[in-house]
Homo-oligomer: A and B are copies of this chain.
């Protein structure tokens, strides 16, 4: 009994399909369960087809990371302002925080692997995620400098704190069911920021 042939796809479409399947496995079963075999099963194809798309699990996960990283950064575009408008103490922060949390609940497939995991396998991968974090943190640092220079002179450490809190809020939203309303978390954070001016 020969198995039914999967539809033939161009290499580009195949790669998309494989990445979709890998992401599905990761979100459903966690990183521990990801394997070429599991991805093939998920996609309804056989291992050799997966190998025709990527040279192994490492390159596959790296490609997935590339794709998801682009999606994540696209969602962050424009969320972080360059400076704080002086007349609007907590308002803008509140809106930005809520927009970020909205992005997380809207597209959990993208955010779950970023927020709840460090890719333990290839060092390269972890480094790249951390590099992106560093970039975001730099923007946050500038922002803090523009609005909180007197109360928080160490903007670098302050940016670490802020990003840690934002990421933690994100993970809380990914719990099932979400523990708190986005507005509730944003309110407390905005309150703190306001108090610091």
Contact = CB atoms under 8 A, between A and B. Distances in A.
A192 interface: yes
A116 interface: yes
Contacts of A165: 161, 164-165
Contacts of A187: 154
Given A32-B119, A120-B119, A165-B164, A196 B192 contact: yes
Contact of A118 (B120, B167, B184): B120
Instruction: Say which size band chain A's interface belongs to.
Output: 20 to 34
A192 B162 CA distance: 12
A188 interface: yes
Contacts of A191: 151-152
A195 B151 contact: yes
A185 interface: yes
A137 B154 CA distance: 26
Given A30-B120, A31-B120, A116-B118, A161 B184 contact: no
A86 to B, nearest CB: 19
A102 interface: no
Nearest to A121: B119
A154 B184 contact: yes
A87 to B, nearest CB: 21
A160 interface: yes
Contact of A188 (B118, B152, B168, B184): B152
A32 B157 CA distance: 31
11 contacts: A31-B119, A116-B118, A117-B119, A120-B120, A151-B195, A152-B192, A160-B168, A160-B169, A161-B165, A164-B165, A164-B168
> Which 3 interchain pairs have the tightest Cβ spacing?
A119-B120, A164-B168, A32-B120
